[in-house]
Amino acid sequence: MRPRTSGYHLLSYYSSAALWNLCMGMVQVLLPLYANALGFSILKISSLIALPALAEIGVRFLGSAYSDRFGERRVLQACFWLMFVSGVVLVAAESYSLLFVAQTLANFSRSNFWIAIQSLGSQLPGANVGKRLGRLSACNYGGNLIGLSLGGVLAALVGYPKAFLLLSAAAFVCILLGLALPDVASKPGGRTVWAITRGIGQFLSYRPIWLIISVSYAAALPSSLTQSIYPVYFAQMQYGEQWIGAAISVRSLAPILMGLALGSMIAIKRQREIYAVGMAGLGISLICSGLAESLSLGALLIALLGASGAVMDLLYQVQASEWSQPRDRSVAMATAGLGWVVCPFSAPLIVGWLAEAHGFGIAFMASGVFFLLASLGTRLWHRLLAPAEELKA
């Protein structure tokens, strides 16, 4: 198929990315609040977020293989349909099982969306890869910011069923936009999905990939906790849904500016410094969250959490792009982004269990100390792992 990257197709690309993230943002704030309104416990709400992430591992790698075999556009179109069906299920969901199904569908959409959209963006013509991915990051976080804010407002004004209905409508618009996504160079022929999937083992055999996976784990932390722990934390402080949605939404505010202004500064030569700063930012924001006694202070700390995660998000994308070829870019993104699967499963369960057993203060404190220690060990982690050149085949 002839590549097409006209302004119209690029507009569809960035618009569909922003709108899908709007849908995901609505899910992230509405689902835990709805589960809390139904009377579920903290641990049960956390399990709704965490357990569906287990199935993401296989779906993520299979989706990346399909992306490298048939192209990113087809995978993205499937992701838009999965989000639409998830929204339809949420309209009728009143039980744990239906909420679980809806969250699983949204997770399947998310796991493959990030791979395909980032892989496609890294192959578009124009500025350096960091700048291209920075623009995409700004659209992603911009849509997420609106979705998180809108979700809480809609829950307060029109109720959960109508909010879920509007979510479904937005996802359907994504489906329409997906028909005009840009094309890039065709994928090499003669390869089976299974042969491409086996390439994951080669990537996992490189020691530096595990450092990148730790970066993507850190990148996923703000999303994982702000769609599970933070809404319940603020709800137990007796704040309304609209205020909780607004506080959670600031997670995406700083990353929008960073994606536009700092994307070109994210480079392999600065990876050690970026790693240390990102991990430290996550640790400090978590520790201080346990000490916060107001929603406004909590929102500022969530902004810091989001900014730190955004830095790590751009770093792992640049690393995966620099250390792979276009023919296997999606598989490289899937492997490097394995932390985006592990974190949504582990972080809500661990922090949720700590919060249930010892309170939110201890839960946030313990989590923050972990990431501060990761930051302090930056030089050691980079010295233990193989040099970056090992990945350049």
Dump pLDDT digits (tens) for 91-121. Answer: 988 889 999 999 999 988 988 898 888 888 8
Q: Please, are residues 232 and 43 in contact by the beta-carbon 8 Å criterion?
A: no
pLDDT the model gives residue 295: 93
3-state secondary structure (DSSP) of residue 183? strand
pLDDT the model gives residue 187: 65
pLDDT the model gives residue 221: 96
User: What are the pLDDT digits (tens) for 310-346?
Assistant: 889 888 888 888 777 777 788 888 888 889 888 988 9
Where do we find the tokens 């029109």?
A: 158
Spans of the chain below 50 pLDDT = 1-2, 388-393
pLDDT the model gives residue 168: 96
pLDDT the model gives residue 378: 93
The token pair that represents 5 in the structure block = 């990257």
| Nearest-angstrom CA–CA distance, 211 and 200 | 16
- What structural domains and CATH numbers belong to the chain? 7-182+192-391 (1.20.1250.20)
pLDDT the model gives residue 392: 45
The token pair that represents 214 in the structure block = 């730790």
pLDDT the model gives residue 391: 44
Q: Please, are residues 178 and 73 in contact by the beta-carbon 8 Å criterion?
A: yes
pTM comes to: 0.75
